[in-house]
Amino acid sequence: NAGVTQTPKFRVLKTGQSMTLLCAQDMNHEYMYWYRQDPGMGLRLIHYSVGEGTTAKGEVPDGYNVSRLKKQNFLLGLESAAPSQTSVYFCASSYSSSGAYEQYFGPGTRLTVT
């Protein structure tokens, strides 16, 4: 039982490049989330999904897109990376509506945009 895994762990992009971050969970959770964490700002919700085929915007969705084609996977895309997107990205999942349920977090992806 791996819990929540994220791929890749580290990535360096040049401005304007695109990339996709992959999140996978093996707990059969309905809800999945993408957060970014910047120094002194806590975690901020980018997008979330309440089930396969559904996505919704969080607090800071601009510049990101997401897809949930399979229940166990949640993808975060950056179409044209900008230095302001340099951050640590965390994926999480929960059994049902959060914050009424515990979120399980992945280990994070450290992204640097130069």
Partner 1 sequence: LAKTTQPISMDSYEGQEVNITCSHNNIATNDYITWYQQFPSQGPRFIIQGYKTKVTNEVASLFIPADRKSSTLSLPRVSLSDTAVYYCLVGVLIYNQGGKLIFGQGTELSVKP
Interacting residues toward partner 1 by CB under 8 A = 4, 31, 33, 35, 40-45, 48, 50-51, 56, 58-59, 90, 92, 97-100, 102-108
Nearer Cβ to partner 1, position 9 or 70? 9
Nearer Cβ to partner 1, position 12 or 56? 56
Nearer Cβ to partner 1, position 17 or 43? 43
Rounded least distance, CB 49 to partner 1, Å? 10
Rounded least distance, CB 63 to partner 1, Å? 19
Rounded least distance, CB 64 to partner 1, Å? 16
Q: How many CA atoms lie within 13 A of 70 on its CB side?
A: 8
Residue 13's φ and ψ, nearest 5 degrees, are: -120, 155
How many secondary structure helices (H) and strands (E) does the chain include? 0, 11
Nearer Cβ to partner 1, position 31 or 64? 31
Torsion sign across C-alpha atoms 42, 48, 67, 29: positive
Measure the CA dihedral 5/84/57/79, to 10°. -80
Rounded least distance, CB 70 to partner 1, Å? 19
Greatest extent of the chain over all pairs of C-alpha atoms, in Å: 39
